[in-house]
Amino acid sequence: MIFKASKENILKAGELIQAGETVAFPTETVYGLGASAYNPTAIAKIYAIKNRPTFNPLISHIAEVDFLRDYAVTDERVLALANKFWPGPLTFILKRKDKNPALDLACAGLNKISVRMPNHPVALDLIRAAGVPIVAPSANKSQTISPTTARHVQNSLGDALPMILDAGACQVGVESTIIDVSEKQIYLLRAGGIALETLEEFLNEKVLISDGNPNKPSSPGQMLRHYAPKYETRINVVDPLPDEFYIGFGKMACDLNLSVSGDLQEATANLFQMMHLAEEQTKKSKIAIAPIPNTGLGRAINDRIKRASYK
Ligand code: TXA
Ligand code: MG
């Protein structure tokens, strides 16, 4: 059920999380399906509701940087990144410090833990109300397009949830950037809401792109088919076919335009919403997407649509 994200409803949602329930809530990236990081039974519910085939590790959402101290192994570089980019769409993979066995499922048995502080007042209030880190994958069925509105969550997960907190559309519109900062060399595991270039500039060092090689840290978000719409999807399309619903970028004739002015931030915010609309329309039986520049946030867009088009 969808509830307005009022003060009372956020408090109620916090109580539900303490009681071992799952609650969907807005973040600046996408809507998340949350549970207490310390409640394996509740986390198992997340996997069941999402229909996730295996236990992937989940991102812990926290509301204060200080919380990191007992949770994960940090250093000056990590704290500098956190102070600069949190709250915001940046997730760290760190060595796990908190040895409480209740956390094992959140980490899927790995000795690393992923953490971020979302830049959304409702998410932050909810974490504080729950009094625990909230683990949250995107609030949609596994392998479908991520939700950027409460209605997307309702359409995907339906009545399996006691509460969906509604605070309108997500501002960023793609998931967080994930970097592994647990070793000297930093790896990008998932392109997302903060551009690689922005991180490198701040750090003044090279961030390597992990290719999902089994010898490197890997993220199940690297699965080749992910974020998939139900219609066959082609990317880098300049001349769409008559049966293709065309999602454009920049000034052009198309069914929907990610950004007429060619603004990558606007395009990122529109991406999932427009993919949902393309999937809901019934006039065309396929989807085509225009070329998107592969720099800055364009990298996150290209990553998602490449997976959406994978056969
Ligand atoms: O923007 C986001 O990050 C959203 C919102 C809700 O915060 N969350 C999200 O979660 O996208 P999810 O579960 O859909 O994606 C998290 C990714 C998964 O691919 C997971 O495998 C990877 O992060 N991951 C989490 N912990 C990890 C770890 N310890 N080691 C490697 N990969 C990890
Ligand atoms: Mg997801």
The three-state DSSP-derived secondary structure of 121-165 is HHHHHHHHHHCCCEECCECCCCCCCCCCCHHHHHHHHHHHCCCEE
What's the pLDDT at 216? 44
Torsion angle, alpha carbons of 91, 93, 98, 104, to 10: 100
Indicate whether residue 188 lines ligand 1 (CB < 6 A).
no
Indicate whether residue 114 lines ligand 1 (CB < 6 A).
yes
| Torsion 82-84-89-93 (CA) sign | negative
> What residues have CB less than 8 Å from 21, skipping those under 6 apart?
35, 42, 45, 162, 163
pTM, 2 dp: 0.89
What's the pLDDT at 82? 98
Report CA(180)–ligand 1 centroid distance (Å).
12
Report CA(168)–ligand 2 centroid distance (Å).
19
What's the pLDDT at 220? 52
Mutate to test the pocket of ligand 1, among 91, 103, 187, 303 (most ligand atoms within 8 A of CB): 91
- Quote helix, strand, coil % in the chain, to nearest 5: 35, 20, 50
Report CA(59)–ligand 1 centroid distance (Å).
5
Indicate whether residue 172 lines ligand 1 (CB < 6 A).
no
Closest ligand to Cα 226:
2
What b/e sequence results for 77-112 when a residue is b if at least 16 CB atoms lie within 10 Å of its CB, and e otherwise?
ebeebbeebbbbbbbbbbebebeeeebebbbeeeeb
Report CA(59)–ligand 2 centroid distance (Å).
11
Q: What length is written for the chain?
A: 311
Q: Is 232 in contact with 128 (CB distance < 8 Å)?
A: no
Determine the atom of ligand 1 nearest the C-alpha atom of 219. Answer: 32
The whole-angstrom separation of Cα 22 and Cα 306 is 31
Task: Enter the tokens of residue 96.
Answer: 């796990």
Residues in the chain with pLDDT values less than 50: 214-217
Determine the atom of ligand 1 nearest the C-alpha atom of 178. Answer: 23
Report CA(189)–ligand 1 centroid distance (Å).
10
The whole-angstrom separation of Cα 201 and Cα 107 is 30
Domain ranges of the chain: 2-209, 232-308
In DSSP terms, which residues pair with 244 in a beta bridge? 286
For ligand 1, atom 3, name the residue with the nearest CA. 176
Closest ligand to Cα 30:
1
Instruction: Return the number of other C-beta atoms located less than 10 Å from residue 219's C-beta.
Output: 19
The whole-angstrom separation of Cα 141 and Cα 219 is 18
What's the pLDDT at 217? 41
Q: Return the CATH number of 2-209, one of 3.90.870.10, 3.30.70.270, 3.10.129.10, 3.40.50.1240.
A: 3.90.870.10
Closest ligand to Cα 219:
1
